[in-house]
Amino acid sequence: MFRINENYLKLPGSYLFAEIKSRVAKYAAGHPGRELLRLGIGDATRPLAPAVVDAMKLAAGEMGEAATFRGYAPDYGYDFLREKIAEHDYRRRGVAMQPDDIFVSDGAKSDSGNIGDILSADNVVAICDPVYPVYADTNAMAGRAGDYGADGRWDRIVYMPCVPENNFVPELPDRAPDVIYLCYPNNPTGAAAGRGDLERWVGYALERGALILYDSAYEAYVTEPGVPRSIYEIEGAKGCAIEFRSFSKTAGFTGTRCAYTVVPKELVCGAGGGVGAAVAGGAGGASGAMGAGGSVAAGVSLNALWGRRQATKLNGVSYVVQRAAEAVYSEEGRKGCRAAVEYYMENASIILAGLKKAGFSAWGGVNAPYIWLKAPDGLSSWELFDLLLDRAGVIGTPGSGFGPHGEGFFRLTAFSSREDTQKAVERIAAAGLL
């Protein structure tokens, strides 16, 4: 008799955004004609830049001609795109990067979930609290999270509270984790981590042989000078960190699907199974030298392991989409994407200023397209969700969906239209919540 992966049975409820979708559908069915303003899921609403669309059309034309038709894409992405990423996103910003450190994929959500395939189920994982729910859920699916308690916590996960008092950047945990997820600019709190914060984390990871999984899907939203956009701006990070990047939020590819993950060749499994002690090759071969700790894993290249995983489970990203992603780096493409990011950040300022003026405590919205607000009067996150939906027709995301320390908070996104954003702020202010 077959057996299922029983870890799935431990997962509480549905995936956060699926839960919201179903609650909103139920509400809408009961309130036909009610105008709902969607500031819940962070989904792009601005159209693709014209240069990106032109590149897609051209590539689609090539696919229709025998002479230029392409079959399977290379497993790790076309060289033309990997080269552009290395040059524009790293080298031009002072970070040395080679195209073969970069793996093109369909999304940072899938990569940040799939990365667990190359990590032992025994690893102790640390996550920020609140956090993008994919990190906890995918570790739970892999059996790395233990059991889910009545307190809303997995008993094998180390939770690192991110609260106003620490500017939503966690302290180093007492219980030493093997794998640490960090996301800055942050989803959901909209906070940014400074250089000093990241230096502290990189130092900690190197000292303890831990691996940092750094999600920088929102780097394009940084507006303050000096705020790092990549973990690799920090010395030593290539020896302890993997970085996830996406075209979803930087270029409006939420529906087009293209992202990449950086696994530097310098990143190897260290003595005793930790990270960062030896030298290994790239994705050409997964074997490494036996390290000082005698572990078979010591010296193994994570670049090679991830390459092996991707080559086996992914058939690449379509040629048309990779040409579209390449066009993001053209002069016209950069201008178009920048304009969309600025549009969203103007929305973010409107939300932040409007909430503060109405008397709410609110954070974020300066280096990230998310605004994090405190629910008034001791309301729970879901109570505020229901009240805003009912009184204002505004859909947001309950903070508790991102973790126990998100309880009593609420997230609004800047990804809506200008008109809906302005209307939402006015309606929230008039909802009689304060």
* By CB under 6 A, residue 250 contacts ligand MLT: no
Region for 363 from its dihedrals, namely left if φ exceeds 0, alpha if ψ lies in -120 to 50, beta otherwise: beta
Single residue of 11, 24, 28, 41 touching ligand MLT by CB under 6 A: 41
* By CB under 6 A, residue 42 contacts ligand MLT: yes
| Nearer Cβ to ligand MLT (43/62) | 43
Q: Rounded to the nearest 10 degrees, how much is the dihedral formed by the CA atoms of 189, 333, 322, 268?
A: -50
Q: Is 377 exposed, middle or buried (0-12, 13-18, 19+ CB in 10 A)?
A: exposed
Q: Rounded to the nearest 10 degrees, how much is the dihedral formed by the CA atoms of 341, 323, 258, 104?
A: -120
Nearest-approach distance from CB 77 to ligand MLT, in angstroms:
20
Nearest-approach distance from CB 107 to ligand MLT, in angstroms:
8
Stretch that binds ligand MLT, among 38-46, 123-131, 266-274, 318-326 (CB under 6 A): 38-46
Q: What's the Cα-to-Cα distance from 220 to each of 52, 197, 223, 251, 260, rounded to whole Å?
A: 17, 19, 8, 9, 15
Residue at shortest CB range from ligand MLT: 42
Nearest-approach distance from CB 43 to ligand MLT, in angstroms:
6
Nearest-approach distance from CB 185 to ligand MLT, in angstroms:
12
* By CB under 6 A, residue 310 contacts ligand MLT: no
Nearest-approach distance from CB 371 to ligand MLT, in angstroms:
12
| Nearer Cβ to ligand MLT (42/288) | 42
- What phi and psi values does residue 397 have, to the nearest 5 degrees? -125, 125
Q: Rounded to the nearest 10 degrees, how much is the dihedral formed by the CA atoms of 330, 332, 336, 342?
A: 90
Residue showing tokens 């009961």: 30
* By CB under 6 A, residue 399 contacts ligand MLT: no
Stretch that binds ligand MLT, among 35-43, 110-118, 323-331, 416-424 (CB under 6 A): 35-43
Nearest-approach distance from CB 109 to ligand MLT, in angstroms:
4
* By CB under 6 A, residue 109 contacts ligand MLT: yes
Helix residue ranges per DSSP H, 241-398: 248-251, 302-313, 319-327, 331-358, 381-387
Strand partners, 154: 148
Nearest-approach distance from CB 372 to ligand MLT, in angstroms:
12
Tokens of 131: 């956090």
DSSP for residue 67? T
| Nearer Cβ to ligand MLT (132/201) | 132
Tokens of 1: 């008799």
Residue 200 CB partners (closer than 8 Å, separation 6+): 172
Nearest-approach distance from CB 18 to ligand MLT, in angstroms:
11
Single residue of 187, 256, 322, 347 touching ligand MLT by CB under 6 A: 187
What distance in Å separates the CA atoms of residue 86 and residue 100, rounded to the nearest whole number?
9
| Nearer Cβ to ligand MLT (248/301) | 248
- Contact pattern from residue 118 through residue 157 relative to ligand MLT, giving x for each residue in contact according to CB under 6 A and a dash for the rest: --------------x-------------------------
- Residues that bind ligand MLT in the complex, under the rule CB under 6 A: 41-43, 109, 132, 187
